[in-house]
Amino acid sequence: MSILIKNGRVVTASETYIADVYTEDEKIVAIGKDLVYQADKVIDATGKLIFPGGIDPHVHLDMPFMGTYSSDDYETGTRAALHGGTTMVIDFILQTQGDTLHNALKIWQSKSQGKAIGDYSYHMAVTDFNDDVAKEVVEMIEEEGITSFKTFMAYKGALMIDDGQMVQLMKVVKKYGGLVTVHATNGDMIDSLIAKNKADGNMSPIYHYLSQPEVTESEASGRFADMLEYTGCPGYIVHMTCEGALNAVRKATQRNQKIFVETCPQYLILDASLYENDFEGAKWVMSPPLREKKDQTALWSGINQGLIQVVGTDHCPFMWDQKLMGKDDFSKIPNGHPAIEHRMELLYSEGVDKGKISLTKYVELSSTNAAKIFGMYPRKGTIAIGSDADIVIFDPKKEHTISVETHHMNCDYSGYEGKKVTGKTETVILRGQVAIENEECLLKAGHGQFIKRGKTSKTVI
Ligand code: URP
Ligand code: ZN
Ligand code: ZN
C-alpha cells in the first residue's frame, strides 16, 4: 500500500512547513514539494495539519481495579484512541503481589494479542519487589523490550511499595538503562484522611477530593525526586495535577536531575468545582483528583517552561453502574474516567487554538517526547523518512462537540459532555494503512503491534 498526502502543513517537534508526504508499506519514504509518485491513494491535505501519530503513554485497558475492570478492552480502547488521532498507547501491566512479573506479562499478552487495533506497549508495574523480581526486571529490559517500571506510592495493600523497595528497584533499573515511573501521592496520609472522613459520615464524592489535598502529591513528588537523586536513576511522574508537585520537580531540575513529568487534559481543563454536584461528581473521581484554577495555570506554565514534557490521559473508564459501587461511600467509587479519544483534540483546542502553546510544543507533548522518553524514537513520534507511517491529518478549523452519543469509548457517559472543541482528527494512518477515514475505523482487531522499546539511557530529550 502506498499513500501520497499532498500539500499539508507538516508539524514536527522542531518545525512546520508545507510539503507532500509519501508512504510505502509501513514507512515514510519521501517528504518534499510537488512529489511525483504513482500512489495507491492520494489525499489532498490543503489547509490541514500533518502530525505524527499521537502516543498516549498512560492508559488502563481491561484492568482489574477496585473490585471491577476498566470498561475499555484493547479492541474498543485502541479503536477509540485511533478515532482521536492516537496511534499508539502504553498500558500498565500490574504485577499481583506475591506473583511474578512474567505471569503478569502473560496475562496482559492474552488481553492484547489479536485484539489491539492500534499499536501498543506496556509499562511493568512492580507492586512487590524482592531479589527474584529484581532478576525479572533485568529480563524485562533485556529480552522483552519493556523498559519502564511503574510504581505506586499509594493504594496500600494492592499496588503500593514502600520507600525501601523503591530505592532497591531504582538501583536495578538505573544499572540496566530503564526508567522508573510513579503515581506520586502519599498513600498513608490519604488513607488516614479517607478513614477520618468516613468516620465523620462524609460519604459523597467531594470527600474523595478532600482526602487527597495538594500536599499529599507535593510531598510524594519531592520524596520520589530525592530517591531518584540518591540512586541516580532517571524517573517520570505520571498524571501530575498541581503547583506544589511541580515545584518539587523544579527543585530537582536545579540539581540537574533526569526527571520527566506527564500531565493530562483533565488537569489542564477541568477543576474541583465538578465535585460539588453530589453523586454526579463520581464521573471525575480519579486519583489524584481534579484541582484548582491556579493549578491549571501552573501546569500550562510548567509545559512552556519545559518542566512537563508529556500529556497522557490516564484513561481508566468505568460504566455508570460501576461508579454506583460507591454511591454510599466515595472510597468505593472506581477511580478513573474515559479520556483516550479526546486527548489530541482537547490539547489542540485548549492549547494551540487558545494560544497557550505553539504547534511544535503540541507535537512534543502529544507524541515526540513520549517516543523519546520511552525508547521508541525516531521509529515513532515524528514525521521523517524511515519513521513508521503513523500520521494524523488534522483539520484545525473544524468545530465539534464532545458527547457520549458520538464517542467511541466503551463508557456510557462523557466527562466532557457538550464541550465545544475547535480542531478535528480527519484521517489517521497507522504504519501505512488508513485507520480512520470519514469517521470510520477501517482496521480490524489484531492489526495493532506490540512495540518493543529501547533503553531510556539511549534516548535523548
Ligand atoms: O484514578 C485513576 N488514576 N485511576 C487509574 C489508576 C491510576 O492511579 O492511575
Ligand atoms: Zn495513578
Ligand atoms: Zn493511571
Per residue in 353-409, pLDDT (tens digit) is 999 999 999 999 999 999 999 999 999 999 999 999 999 999 999 999 999 999 999
pLDDT at residue 460 greater than cutoff 80: no
Amino acid at 271: D
Cα–Cα distance, 370 to 159 (Å, whole number): 24
Cα–Cα distance, 120 to 146 (Å, whole number): 11
Percent of the chain with pLDDT over 70: 99
Residues comprising the chain, all counted: 461
Residue with CA at minimum distance from ligand 1 atom 7? 287
Domain boundaries, the chain: 2-51+383-441, 54-373
Q: Give the model's pLDDT for residue 461.
A: 64
- pLDDT classification of 438: cutoffs 50, 70, 90: very high
* HSE-up of residue 255 (Cα within 13 Å, Cβ side): 17
CA of 24 to the centre of ligand 1 (A): 39
Q: Are strands 16-24 and 27-32 parallel, antiparallel or unpaired?
A: antiparallel
Residues 6+ apart with CB under 8 A from 449: 116, 119, 120, 431
The closest-lying atom of ligand 1 relative to the alpha carbon of residue 154 is 8
- With vertex at residue 406, the alpha carbon angle to CA 403 and CA 408, rounded to the nearest 5 degrees, is 110
pLDDT at residue 456 greater than cutoff 80: no
Mean pLDDT of 318-323: 98
Q: Give the model's pLDDT for residue 277.
A: 87
Entry pTM? 0.98
Mutate to test the pocket of ligand 1, among 92, 287, 331 (most ligand atoms within 8 A of CB): 287
According to CATH, the topology of domain 2-51+383-441 is Urease, subunit C; domain 1 (2.30.40)
Cα–Cα distance, 309 to 167 (Å, whole number): 24
The closest-lying atom of ligand 1 relative to the alpha carbon of residue 287 is 1
Cα–Cα distance, 141 to 453 (Å, whole number): 9
Percent of the chain with pLDDT over 90: 98
Q: Are strands 54-59 and 86-94 parallel, antiparallel or unpaired?
A: parallel
Per residue in 136-159, pLDDT (tens digit) is 999 999 999 999 999 999 999 999
Mutate to test the pocket of ligand 1, among 156, 286, 323 (most ligand atoms within 8 A of CB): 286
Residue with CA at minimum distance from ligand 1 atom 9? 314
Mean pLDDT of the chain, nearest integer: 97
Cα–Cα distance, 13 to 251 (Å, whole number): 26
Q: Give the model's pLDDT for residue 458.
A: 60
- Asked, as a colleague might, if the bond just before 317 is cis with ω within 30 of 0, I would say no
Cα–Cα distance, 88 to 435 (Å, whole number): 12
**3-state SS, one letter per residue, for 170-194:** HHHHHHCCCEEEEECCCHHHHHHHH
Asked if 227 and 237 touch (Cβ cutoff 8 Å), the reply is no
Residue with CA at minimum distance from ligand 1 atom 3? 287
Q: Give the model's pLDDT for residue 252.
A: 93
CA of 270 to the centre of ligand 2 (A): 17
Cα–Cα distance, 149 to 233 (Å, whole number): 12
Per residue in 175-219, pLDDT (tens digit) is 999 999 999 999 999 999 999 999 999 999 999 999 999 999 999
Mean pLDDT of 325-339: 98
The closest-lying atom of ligand 1 relative to the alpha carbon of residue 155 is 8
Per residue in 361-377, pLDDT (tens digit) is 999 999 999 999 999 99
- pLDDT classification of 331: cutoffs 50, 70, 90: very high
- pLDDT classification of 220: cutoffs 50, 70, 90: very high
Q: Within 10 Å of residue 425's Cβ, how many Cβ atoms?
A: 23
Residue with CA at minimum distance from ligand 1 atom 1? 286
Q: Give the model's pLDDT for residue 308.
A: 98
Q: Within 10 Å of residue 1's Cβ, how many Cβ atoms?
A: 15
Domain 54-373, CATH number (from 1.20.120.10, 3.20.20.140, 3.30.70.580, 3.40.50.170): 3.20.20.140
